[in-house]
Amino acid sequence: MDLFLDIQIEKLSPPIQYNEKILLTGSCFTEHIGGRMDELKFPVLQNPNGILFNPHSVCQSLLSYVQPEIITQKDLFQINEIWHSWNFHSLFSDVDADKALTKMNAALNEAHTFLEKARWVIITLGSSFCYRLTHQAVLANKNLKDIVANCHRAPAHWFEKELLTTEEIKELLENCLKELKAFNPSLQFIFTISPVRHARDGVVENNRSKARLIEAVHFITTKFESAYYFPAYELVIDVLRDYRFYDIDLIHPNYAATDFVFQKFKENCIDEKAKPLMEELKKLVTASKHKAFHPDTNAHQQFLKTHYELAKILQQQYPFLDLKNELKYFTSSQLK
């Protein structure tokens, strides 16, 4: 008896190679895929602006990496003693405006340099809902009606909630891809829709929001040969479709669900030749996190030496890998 509905996933062609740079941006679900790829030593850059949900903010951030403009204090606003930017996540905010600006400008410059050499951009869209500034946003330092990437817990009356139309999302994505391809013609795009439920919008409104994203993304994948859709949303909602695979908040997919999605991503989007190396690196990274109860024993010292040699061999065979943390751990933990 089949307990899960199976879905056919079109394989990514050409697939992702180990030495190809990957920029990931979008909702918090982006970090489930990006975090695993980072741990397995793929060259990734995740969410340079922090977590973003709506297509407007995602596209705006991506285009800001093409030709970064220096952010100055006039681009910030202060509320509850903290300096924020409407285009960045609160992780970049600070009580010191100069420190906030340093973090934001460094992120833009890093993203620009990375995108120049990147092969892949993975975009995870979370919601068609966006928030525009109202005339009551007196401290905003931004044009009225501008869409914000993050509300920073500002007063609710500062914002007007809006559901973007499918046509608006199509236009945003199409223009974004055209400009990114002009900047770096070798870029390939992978789109996903986040399976995170935006429960505060209501179940019906959440479904309307997701439907618009799905329709717009499929329009893009038919128009651009360089665009591919990976069905992360369908894998959770239609294949797993059980609250056992959600966190206690019943909104966010849990570890079992995100791991299931990543295994499908690995199966369909990553080059077969890369998979043995992924397994070797998984063992190595797991070993580097091992906390020994008796670090002075011969057995543990041999464990460290064995894995140090493995890390050294892999570094020699694959110079593009960054194993400095693992090499440092296996050497610094050995008895002198």
CB-facing half-sphere around the CA of 231: CA atoms within 13 A:
14
Instruction: Work out the percent of the chain whose per-residue pLDDT is above 90.
Output: 79
Q: Is residue 10 part of a domain?
A: no
- 82-84 vs 77-79, strand pairing mode: antiparallel
93 and 208 inside one domain: yes
246 and 151 inside one domain: yes
CATH value at residue 26? 3.40.50.1110
284 and 256 inside one domain: no
The domain of 252 spans 22-270
Closest Cα to residue 208, out of 156, 169, 257?
Answer: 169
192 and 262 inside one domain: yes
Across the beta sheet with 44-46, the strand order is 44-46, 22-26, 120-125, 188-193, 227-229
147 and 236 inside one domain: yes
Residue where one domain finishes, among candidates 218, 245, 270: 270
In the numeric block, the tokens 């697939």 are attached to: 15
Cβ atoms 181, 187 nearer than 8 A: yes
317 and 230 inside one domain: no
Q: Is residue 315 part of a domain?
A: yes
Q: Is residue 239 part of a domain?
A: yes
Task: List, for residues 174-187, the tens digit of each pLDDT value.
Answer: 999 999 999 999 99
Task: List, for residues 82-127, the tens digit of each pLDDT value.
Answer: 999 999 999 999 999 999 999 999 999 999 999 999 999 999 999 9
3-state helix, strand, coil in the chain (%, to 5): 50, 15, 35
Q: Report CA torsion sign: 71, 77, 81, 87.
A: negative
199 vs 90, 127, 250, CA distance in Å?
21, 11, 9
Residue 29, pLDDT score: 81
Task: List, for residues 244-301, the tens digit of each pLDDT value.
Answer: 999 999 898 999 999 999 999 999 999 999 999 999 999 999 998 888 788 888 888 8
CA–CA distance, 58 with 228 (Å, rounded to integer): 17
Cβ atoms 26, 123 nearer than 8 A: yes
Number of domains in the chain: 2
Residues sharing a CB contact under 8 Å with residue 99, sequence separation 6 or more, in sequence order: none
264 and 292 inside one domain: no
Task: List, for residues 31-76, the tens digit of each pLDDT value.
Answer: 889 999 999 999 999 999 999 999 999 999 999 999 999 999 999 9
88 and 219 inside one domain: yes
Residue where one domain finishes, among candidates 270, 295, 322: 270
Cβ atoms 42, 114 nearer than 8 A: no
64 vs 101, 103, 105, 115, CA distance in Å?
15, 15, 11, 11
153 and 230 inside one domain: yes
Q: Strand, coil or helix: what is 54?
A: coil
Strand partners, 33: none
Closest Cα to residue 168, out of 133, 225, 203, 213?
Answer: 213
Residue 57 DSSP code: H
Average pLDDT, the chain: 93
Q: What are phi and psi of 120, to 5 degrees?
A: -125, 140
178 and 29 inside one domain: yes
Q: Strand, coil or helix: what is 117?
A: helix
137 and 251 inside one domain: yes
